[in-house]
Amino acid sequence: MFPTHYLGNFILGLPWVLRVAEEYPELTLVIDARFRTLTDTVIPSSVNIIEYPRQRLKEPGSFLSRLSLYLGFLRKLRSASSDCIIDMEGERFSGVLSRLSGARNRYGPTGKNAHRFYTNPRKLDYENHRYNAFGEILDVLVSGKAPSNILPYSLPPEAADATEAFLQRCSIKTPFVVIHPGASAEYKKWPVDYFVSLITMFKTQGLEIVMIGVGDDTRMIESIAERLDDTRLFHFDLSGYPELVALFQRAHFYVGGDSGPMHLAASAGLDLVALFGPSKESIWAPLGKNSRLLRGTKSCGKNCDAWQCEFNYHCLTSLIPEIVFGAATATRVAIDMRDPAFEDARNENHP
């Protein structure tokens, strides 16, 4: 059961789900409904997928209609008749779903009244990378070498065709860079003026720029475009995850902050530069040898964290565009700027 609504978490856990599906091809997988199209590009058709209707449960409507929707989901969950259920999410609502599933053996992370929900609470190392934590919770089913973070996406033809149509419509024929300026929290966002400077540098190299983002990200993209005057800037207007993967498979490289699209780009094998502030790279760094993580030159105070910073998050704002430009255009010889190389350390530490 993996009904997370965070794209980054979902991408980090998906390789492990695929690994389980290889040994248990008829397993039942519970996911957030918004990730169904992405799941279908990776998970075998033999897997029984149950969609948790999180978004629909939040939509306006009567209490009875939402209750009926929730009960309908529970009926599907219980009809799976599973003897064992593993809660990868570990949140209160997913713990309740584990209890209501009817499974005799219920595994989930310790904490948040875990003893009420699970017959087998598991203490996970959440100070290690979240990818590893997902591996720990599933090691009751699979063991051995950790799966690759590069996912074998099998995209539907219509997704690839739609992305190709976008590139043709924008007359993008030269190498292009994908930039995601947004993030789920303000402290993760690199300044707009820095993106303007970085894009200007990229244009001197003959690179086209494709911006991605929806919702609040759109306003940030518009602010960047306003400061660039007549510079050609394209906003990818396709919102589906398969289309986004198709874009990543065509791109030259990716630049953006700590976000779900960053992890999606890494899972597609795209070279990327991640711009980090107070986020812990030991937990949230993008995976893969083609990923570079950059921070600013100024460190935070002793009491700084993601929710408060006495220096206004200068760990991120002291990361200047010139450094990002140099890292993004570097050769593959210097592609991983972390010490030690994260992927090597992960493979050595995981059973």
Q: Which of 88, 105, 137 is the last residue of a domain?
A: 137
Residue pLDDT, tens place only, 141-164: 998 889 999 999 999 999 999 999
Q: Residue 121 phi/psi, 5° resolution?
A: -65, 140
Q: What contacts 65, CB < 8 A, 6 or more positions away?
A: none
Total domain count, the chain: 2
Residues 199 and 310 in one domain: yes
Distance in angstroms (rounded) separating the CA atoms of residues 213 and 85: 35
Q: What is residue 304's predicted lDDT score, i.e. its pLDDT?
A: 66
pLDDT for the residue numbered 239: 85
Q: Are residues 170 and 218 in the same domain?
A: yes
328 phi and psi angles, rounded to 5 deg? -70, -30
Phi first, then psi, for residue 117 (nearest 5°) are: -105, -35
The parent domain of residue 109 ranges over 7-137
Intervals of the chain under pLDDT 70: 301-307, 310-312, 331-351
So what's the pLDDT on residue 303? 67
Distance CA 5, CA 166 (A): 27
Sheet with 105-109, strands from edge to edge, namely 84-86, 105-109, 120-122
The sign of the dihedral angle between the CA atoms of 157, 159, 162, 166 is negative
Residue 268: which of 284, 285, 291 has the closest Cα?
291
Predicted local distance difference test score (pLDDT) of residue 316: 87
Q: Is 143 a domain residue?
A: no
CA atoms within 13 A on the CB side of 179: 30
User: What 3-state class would DSSP assign to 274?
Assistant: strand
For residue 271, the domain's CATH number is 3.40.50.2000
3-state secondary structure (DSSP) of residue 10: helix
Can you tell me the distance from the alpha carbon of 323 to that of 309, in angstroms, rounded to the nearest whole number? 23
70: in domain: yes
Looking at 72, 103, 137, which one is the last position of a domain?
137
Strands (E), the chain: 28-32, 48-52, 84-86, 105-109, 120-122, 176-180, 208-211, 234-235, 253-257, 272-275, 291-294
Q: Is residue 276 part of a domain?
A: yes
